[in-house]
Amino acid sequence: MILLSRSEELVLLAIWKLKEQAYGVPIRELLSEWTEHEWAFGAIYKPLKQLTHKDFVYKHVSDPTTERGGRTKYIYELTPKGQMALKEMQKVQAAAWDSKSMLVIK
């Protein structure tokens, strides 16, 4: 079984949701939206580096863009191994949060 840290899981989910727009700024914005907490770039790039090292994501360089002054950006894509890791984490989360053990906050 593949287990991910919470930040790795959220970053993988962001990449999956963003598809071809999965690069640093949109990943950070989506994570901040989901968590209602401002994420530092370091908090994003550390898990991205770990996920790339584990072959869960593939990083490639985009073509230069005019809105970035001709600079390129790194685009991240899920690999089949990354997709499998997300599916396994989804199963773990579902088992942990089954209806019989739902947290009741008063």
Would you list the domain boundaries of the chain? 6-97
Residue 71 CA, distance from chain mean position: 23
Amino acid at 75: I
| pTM of the predicted structure, to 2 decimals | 0.84
- pLDDT average, residue stretch 75-91: 94
Q: First and final CA of the chain: distance in angstroms?
A: 35
Q: Which residue has the higher pLDDT, 100 or 96?
A: 96
Bridge partners (DSSP) of residue 74 are 61
pLDDT of residue 103: 61
Per-residue pLDDT, 101: 61
23-79 pLDDT per residue, tens: 999 999 999 999 999 999 889 999 999 999 999 999 999 877 777 677 888 999 999
CATH topology of domain 6-97: Arc Repressor Mutant, subunit A (1.10.10)
Q: What is the pLDDT of residue 63?
A: 79
What is the C-alpha to C-alpha distance for residues 104 and 95, in angstroms, rounded to an integer? 17
**pLDDT confidence of residue 37:** 94
Give residues with Cβ within 8 angstroms of 66, minimum separation 6.
none
